[in-house]
Structure 1
């Protein structure tokens, strides 16, 4: 009998050499396209956070929006998007970070959360950890407490989840692609 993590993992497509040569991109769109698999995935997050004391869910651009908004809706919480630079229309704070294939900047509206808010930070994947660390820093700059980072996929060889956990933020991972 297959465990739920393997069930989710078998619905993630690997795309070689995208967005550049040498990158093995883990594409979650096949699991989003299958309603049963998507429901199992969301139920994993709901089971984990059903009794957590949370005020908001923050999702990282862009696949974190898909997961985070559904989880926020199901838990009756607000949702906060952390977007790529230049995409938010109101006053923002920003944080630059490094990716495995370059650098980027994310932004958050200055009124996205308030001091003392307890926030779950969610994304599809952790590689080098830069995106999640940047999101954590933005939320904390506004006074929120990020209680956990949550992802579908961890790529442990790239060291991101270790970096995040060493910063003091626990990380929940549905599955990993160790050795890939």
Structure 2
């Protein structure tokens, strides 16, 4: 089976397992992606499908934000045979003595500013970093990860997401965002 056929199977499975909850006019309408995690065949295909988006220049490490990025990131990292670094959100002051890199995000989709970070020793100057998450709407989380990558002296490859819900191309180009689906396909 070719990579293109497998990719189309994953995309089709994502669309089938997805649901919008609430009426279109409902201010509390939301995207329900929980069906993605329930299907083992979909989980098995997600890592390779997201990795394929950056196959031409493999990373040395994958970053993923709490929480969905911590589900998807390791799947992509395993496919590439590299490690994974969790990007924490709003974690309080650590009681350990490790140095941390931290950044505050621009407003996210709920107009919040979040504090992102990871232990400094987990990323270095020779690393090529791929950010992985389920959904990108404002780019705030990916932007923070991009800044943290620069703070570590590492090279940013881009952001691999399942769904692209960005409203313009500026963030997509700056962060090199590549996605399996656009929100219009859901």
Q: Same fold (TM over 0.5)?
A: yes
Q: CA RMSD in A?
A: 2.6
1:75 aligns to 2:80 (yes or no): yes
Cα separation, 2, equivalents of 1:33 and 1:39: 11
| Structure 2 segments unaligned to the other structure (5+ residues) | none
Question: Number of aligned pairs?
Answer: 173
1:10 aligns to 2:35 (yes or no): no
Cα separation, 2, equivalents of 1:10 and 1:87: 38
The aligned counterpart of 2:147 is: 137
Cα separation, 1, equivalents of 2:29 and 2:74: 27
Name the structure with the higher strand share.
1
Deviation string, structure 1 residues 81-106 (Cα, Å, up to 9, x no partner): 11102268442222112112122121
Q: Rg: which structure is higher?
A: 2
CA contact (8 A) 2:48 2:79 kept: no
1:165 to 162, 172, 179: 172
CA contact (8 A) 2:164 2:182 kept: yes
Cα separation, 1, equivalents of 2:62 and 2:147: 15
Moved over 4 A (4+): none
TM-score, normalised by the number of residues in structure 1: 0.83
CA 1:179–1:56 in 2, change beyond 3 Å: closer, same or farther? closer
Name the structure with the higher helix share.
2
